[in-house]
Structure 1
Amino acid sequence: MPKSSGIFMGRNAVMRLGLGSKEEDEHMPGLGAIGKLLEGDTGLLFTNEPPKVVVEWFDDYVKADYARKGNLATETVELPAGPVMIKEINDEPSVAPGALEPHLRALGLPTTLQSRIPTLSSPHVVCKEGEKLDTNQAGLLKTLGYQMAQFKIVLSHVWIKDRSTTFSIDQIRDQLK
């Protein structure tokens, strides 16, 4: 998104107040309709870009992320016996620091410290492809650098200033065809 755009995230009640909940409170005509749509984890994008640019940008915006509890594992992760290695993004794996060993054990990894290096005495399966991750598995995968999820922002509605109207993203996509 261009530098002239801004994303605001906060409590939905606060965002509703900023937009205006009644017609006389609205910052701009029709903004109250957006406030009524705010549920769950939401944010507001303010931009002067045309809807086509915004929709295309968000369609293309995907970032690797760490899986959380309840996500499905996208691969089987089996750690070999020996020093515990951490995957570095865009780098070679590195040996886990000794200070990390208690945290690894707390997450269920059967490690011991050998020469100040967290070490596995036998191979250990952290997760299997297609299985739901529990809290410890998700924590281990994050600690060890395994990204098995994607961060993506899903557009739901657009308010267009010229029309003072809120449109669903499906209506916008239909107009762009």
Structure 2
Amino acid sequence: MPRSQRNQKVSLTKTSKKGRELKQGIVSEVRKCVDEYPSVYVFSFVNLRSKLLKEVRLDFREDSRFFMGKNKVMILALGKSEQDEYQDNLRQVSKRLKGQVGLLFTRRPAEEVKTYFKALAVADHAPPGFVHDETIPLPTGSLGDWPVSMMEQFRKLGVVVEVEEGVLVNRKAINMCTAGEPISPEGAKLLALYDKKIATFTMSLLCRWSEGEFEALAEGTDDAMVTE
């Protein structure tokens, strides 16, 4: 029988009253989900954007709950050791709460959850700072079927552009991104203008806990960015 520690007090004395109340609320919500949902997963993510996460949340809205962004507080709620874990083996879940990760509480069957995340891969525009493995140039010549009114916008993005016979023309070849180097804000905007989706959004399951039983699904997490 899984052990419950519902009445265990959590110390948050190092935070302000407002912050303490917020953190205590998260602790309470996480523990409530432990009690209400039969399974909890830790997931990592790569190239996460708000709109993409929203779509995943919508897919799981009927039977699941997500928590992200407060690793230390979630660890506090679940417990770090055998002595303070909220339920048996939740300390194993806490060990995976490092870096860019989150919690998924769900009533869905395990195989259905695993299949969903294994297939999840969405091409998207790269944010500034993203490192691509290929160089994508913006050569000299016509910039494409853009209105002349776009000239100033292109210039602000570092393009040496002129109008020639009613067409925007690039006078100096540049790279929108260079292999192995972080993409600049200007480069990211240029790639988006040309609809170059070079980033792939993925979410990977690291472990599963269900009624006191723990299952490791993967090791480690990936670096990622969260952007609007």
Same fold by TM (over 0.5)? yes
Tell me what 1:72 maps to.
132
Q: Tell me: higher relative CO, structure 1 or 2? Use CA pairs within 8 A at least 6 residues apart.
A: 2
**How far, CA to CA, are the matches of 2:69 and 2:147 in structure 1?**
36
Displacement of 1:55: 0.8
Residue type at the aligned position of 1:21: K
Q: Is 2:108 aligned against 1:41?
A: no
CA RMSD of aligned residues (A): 3.5
Query: What CA deviation, in whole Å up to 9, does each residue of 1:79-136 have, x standing for no partner?
Result: 5634x45xxxxxxxx736847834x434322235x5xx993343745357x8234433
Is residue 9–residue 42 contact of structure 1 (8 Å, CA) maintained in 2? yes
Residue type at the aligned position of 1:61: L
Residue type at the aligned position of 1:13: K
Residue type at the aligned position of 1:157: C
Is residue 101–residue 118 contact of structure 1 (8 Å, CA) maintained in 2? no
Tell me what 1:81 maps to.
141
Tell me what 1:168 maps to.
216
**How far, CA to CA, are the matches of 2:213 and 2:130 in structure 1?**
38
> Relative to 1, partners in 2 of residues 1:138 and 1:73: Cα closer, same or farther, differing over 3 Å?
farther
Which of 175, 200, 206 is the aligned partner of 1:126?
Answer: 175
Task: Extract unaligned runs of 5+ from structure 2.
Answer: 1-58, 219-228
Tell me what 2:152 maps to.
101
> Relative to 1, partners in 2 of residues 1:12 and 1:120: Cα closer, same or farther, differing over 3 Å?
farther
Tell me what 2:192 maps to.
142
Tell me what 1:175 maps to.
none
Secondary structure at 1:153 match in 2:
strand
Identity of aligned residues (%): 25
Residue type at the aligned position of 1:145: D
Displacement of 1:67: 2.8
Displacement of 1:73: 4.8
Is residue 176–residue 188 contact of structure 2 (8 Å, CA) maintained in 1? no
Secondary structure at 1:52 match in 2:
helix
Tell me what 2:204 maps to.
154
Task: Extract unaligned runs of 5+ from structure 1.
Answer: 86-93, 171-177
Displacement of 1:51: 1.5
Secondary structure at 1:43 match in 2:
strand
Tell me what 1:30 maps to.
89
Tell me what 1:90 maps to.
none
Residue type at the aligned position of 1:81: G
